Amino acid sequence: MKAFAATGIAAPLTASIELVEVDEPRPGPGEAVVAVEAYSVNRGEALSLNGRFGPGTPAGTRFGQDVAGRVVQAAADGTGPAVGTRVVAWASGGW
């Protein structure tokens, strides 16, 4: 699977992101895996990437909290949307 991640600790206006290979996620109870069709890098992420929000962005931080796509693996406990359901989400822990 691919994800956008920070390439280093952000200093103002010097950080960048790259597309990197990451492990496939596995849903836990109440979670689902979504094949992301669209995402945004929101204002907080952009400010963090440039060292202007919080402590900066550590290397490896993944971006794209605001997502839309389809469920490809349902929750381990059977809760939540079924496989194939179109969803929008704010992915906490995305950065």
DSSP output for the chain = -EEEEESS---TTT--EEEEE-PPP---TT--EEEEEEEE--HHHHHHHTT-STT---TT-B---EEEEEEEE--TTS-SPPTT-EEEEE-TT--
pTM value surpassing 0.75: no
Q: What is the pLDDT of residue 58?
A: 67
Q: What is the pLDDT of residues 65-90, one digit of tens each?
A: 788 999 999 998 989 899 999 999 88
Q: What is the pLDDT of residues 30-73, one digit of tens each?
A: 889 999 999 887 777 777 776 666 666 666 677 777 889 999 99
The Cα–Cα gap between 87 and 69 comes to: 6
When comparing pLDDT for 9 and 1, which is higher? 1
49 burial via Cβ count (<10 Å: 0-12, 13-18, 19+): buried
